[in-house]
A and B are shown apart, each in its own frame.
Chain A
Amino acid sequence: MTVLISWTRPKNLKCAWMILSCLIFSLVSNLSHAQASFDEEDIKAAFLYNFADFISWPYDGSGSVNRSSLNYCVLSEATVQRSLRSLLTQEENATLQRNYVFVSDRTELEDCDLVFLGEGDSSYFDELAALAASEVLTVGDHSEFLAEGGMIQLSREQDRIQVIINLDLVNQSGFQVSSQLLRLVNIYELNAQ
Chain B
Amino acid sequence: MKEQQSVNAKQTLHRLLLFNFVATTMVVISQNAFAQDVPADLLDLSIEELFEANIREENPTGSGISPLQGNKWRFAIQYQRSEFEGYFDGSDKLSLDEVSFIPGTEARTADNFPVVPAMICQNVKAFTVAYELNDRVSLQMVVPHVEQSTDHFSSVPGYERFVIDSKGIGDVTLLGTYRLSGESEDGWLLGLGVSLPTGSIDEEGDTPRAPGNQQLPYSMQLGSGTFDIPLNIAYSRNMGSYSWGAELSGRFRLGENDRNYSLGDRASVSSWLRLNSIDWLRPSLRLRYEYSGDISGIDDELLVPGPFAFPAPVTNPTMYGGSQATVSLGFAVPVHGATQLNLEFGKPFYQSLNGPQVGEDYQFSASLNFSF
Contacts and interface: CB of A to CB of B under 8 A. Distances in A.
Interface of A: 1, 3-5, 7, 11, 15, 18-19, 22-23, 25-27, 29-30, 33-40, 42-43, 45-47, 49-50, 53-54, 78-79, 82-83, 86-87, 90, 119, 156, 159-163, 180-181, 184
A86 B54 contact: no
B364 interface: yes
Contacts of A184: 47-48, 51
Nearest to B161: A3
Contacts of B58: 39
A26 B54 contact: no
A141 to B, nearest CB: 11
Given A4-B96, A18-B345, A46-B43, A160 B54 contact: yes
B334 A37 contact: yes
Given A3-B153, A7-B153, A160-B51, A49 B43 contact: yes
Given A5-B97, A7-B153, A46-B43, A26 B333 contact: yes
B54 A42 contact: no
A7 B96 CA distance: 10
B29 interface: no
B276 interface: yes
How would you classify the secondary structure of chain B's contact residues: helix, strand, loop or mixed?
mixed
Contacts of A50: 47, 50
**Which bracket fits the contact residues of B?**
35 or more
B238 A39 contact: yes
B202 interface: no
Given A34-B280, A46-B38, A119 B183 contact: yes
B96 A78 contact: no
A114 B42 CA distance: 20
A87 B153 contact: no
Contacts of B361: 11
B59 to A, nearest CB: 12
Contact of B47 (A4, A5, A15, A180): A180
B341 interface: yes
A83 B240 contact: yes
A15 B238 contact: no
25 contacts: A1-B100, A1-B102, A3-B161, A4-B96, A15-B345, A26-B333, A29-B335, A33-B334, A33-B335, A33-B336, A36-B41, A36-B54, A38-B41, A38-B42, A42-B42, A43-B42, A43-B50, A49-B43, A54-B47, A79-B238, A86-B38, A87-B42, A90-B38, A159-B337, A160-B54
Contacts of B38: 42, 45-46, 83, 86-87, 90
Interface in B69-115: 95-97, 100, 102, 105
B186 A79 contact: yes
A90 B44 CA distance: 13
A21 to B, nearest CB: 9
